Amino acid sequence: MRIDSHAHGRASALQEEPAAYVRRMAAQGIEALVLIDEPDAVFASVQKMGSFVIPVPIIDMDHDGPDEAHRLFDRGARGIKFFLPHHPLGDERYFPLYEAVKARDGVAVFHTGYIMHDADYSSRFRVKLDDLRTAHIDTIERWVPHLRVLMSHFGNPYWEECWKVMWAHPTVYADLSGGTAIL
């Protein structure tokens, strides 16, 4: 099975009918896609596109706790996306969120590496690149062993670090989506 492991967007924004999009993707050999977006948008897309969408809603890691993660899994999430943290990904204050994902047999999807900013340098994108290093995934795996992890963007620009973390932990993977992590 071929799965697009990292997609953003909403079924409501498609330029074609959702069913036509699913058929077109199937013709290209893509049988499902991991859709990452705000919770309501992800679940609305599932309603329009069915099992083609693997829902991975974004959680506000600095305000939402494990109860919110469980609510998202109850709604059908298969994983949780962790994005724009105020602290390093490996900070212990986030461990209860990661443990909630593991308890639900979900996948923790982490934005790793560089984050683009908008033209106005808005405060939303005020993060520290070091807080998003793939080395933090090593820390997380040592405290929440065998958590299934997908590191987005192959840790760009920390590719060697990303490779080592994947090599060391059998439940850690990475995608090559976006940015300069394109071959």
Instruction: Please give the pLDDT value at position 11.
Output: 86
Q: Which residue type is seen at 130?
A: D
Is residue 112 within 8 Å of residue 137, measured between CB atoms?
yes
Residue 178 is classified by DSSP as: S
Instruction: Please give the pLDDT value at position 179.
Output: 64
Q: Which two tokens stand for residue 17?
A: 């009918």
Is residue 44 within 8 Å of residue 23, measured between CB atoms?
no
Instruction: Please give the pLDDT value at position 149.
Output: 98
Q: What is the residue-level pLDDT of the chain in tens, covering all 183 positions?
A: 799 989 998 888 889 999 999 999 999 999 999 999 999 999 999 999 999 999 999 999 999 999 999 999 999 999 999 999 999 999 999 999 999 999 999 999 999 999 888 898 988 888 999 999 999 999 999 999 999 999 999 999 999 999 999 999 999 999 988 765 444
Instruction: Please give the pLDDT value at position 117.
Output: 85
Q: Of all helices (H) and strands (E), which one includes residue 56?
A: strand 53-59
* Beta strand residue intervals within 120-181, DSSP E: 148-152, 172-174
Residue 157 preceded by cis peptide, ω within 30: yes
**What pTM does this model have?**
0.93
Contacts of 181 (CB under 8 A, 6+ apart): 113, 153, 154, 156, 159
